[in-house]
Structure 1
Amino acid sequence: MALKATIFKAELQLSDLDRQHYGNYSLTLARHPSETDERLMVRLLAFALYASEYLSFCKGISDEDEPDLWEMDLSGNLERWIEVGLPDEKRLRKACGRARQVVVLSYGGRAADIWWQQNQSALAKQEKLTVLNLPASQSQALAALAERTMNLSCTIQEGQVWLSSSGDDLQLEPVRWQAAGE
């Protein structure tokens, strides 16, 4: 018998001062049996960083043709493709051909550093691609906040993220390894 996804519910109160975007989001995340709490929470962080009324979670791990999150415009055009982790360069090249903007939010400490060293020159050719890295200590602290039901408050200012949940406060600062258009 196949293992089923574990459902997580998150109430996210977001104040993104960098983009002047504010909102309350009721999110349902399905954690694939092979997914860790760390990856789940990095997906949630990716949502917070790029939140919009059209951004949604996708099948991600379960489907090679879908990212972890994507944003479609009203006419069905793919505006933003967001990958979490250490995706294959070929996959990112394909995504850049499909979406107006592609974002990678990598994590994993040394593994992420090695992935970046191996792929940096090829990825630099992708003008639509932004690559952010969340340091290992921060992604692990983020994983510690994972609960089946979460009430989160998130403030983003000058690239820094302050996240609060049940009295726990985190300060996260994703490092920009590559910005679209550079």
Structure 2
Amino acid sequence: MHLMQYEITLPADYDMAVIHRRVATRGSATDDFPGLGFKAYCARERGVDGSPVNQYAPFYAWRAVEGMNAFLWGPYFRGLSNDFGRPVVRHWVGAGFERGPAGTATAATRRVERVPADADAGEVVERALAELRDHARDPGVHATALAVDPSRWELVRFTLWRDETPDEEVRYRVLHLSRPEADDLSPGRHW
């Protein structure tokens, strides 16, 4: 599993209805994308849920690197780059994925945590995986994933929520959720 996200920060006075329309008319295009576990079409709106910015920030869980490559080098990402400029794409190595009890997802959070330089990275990841399993039991969680950026020694936890999200994390609204191969991101399966 590979996790990926790019953030397109838009002007403070940007009409976010443009992003909502874009997702409403184009979001289903990834509903059957090969190699894609899920894509959460995430957005932040200035002044909503404490967001200081307008931002379009899709988050992906790729089951296979071939699918991620096909997306990045193909017409979907090319179209986005033509419309907004080519964004920086963050990429993390997947460590774990858990399903939660909530049936739908309308919100998401991303939490980033540094791995201390003096800590055993393996032990930190194992603890984070145990926390991920506990986190997935929250009744509001639809699904949650953990990944590692070994170039920066950071853990990222991305969680899809039924509705309300914790205040302390980066919060998004999920405008559409594509899940073509989410069943292949087996609960408890760790990479």
TM-score, scaled relative to structure 2: 0.30
Greater relative contact order, per chain length (Cα 8 Å cut-off, separation 6+)? 2
TM-score, scaled relative to structure 1: 0.31
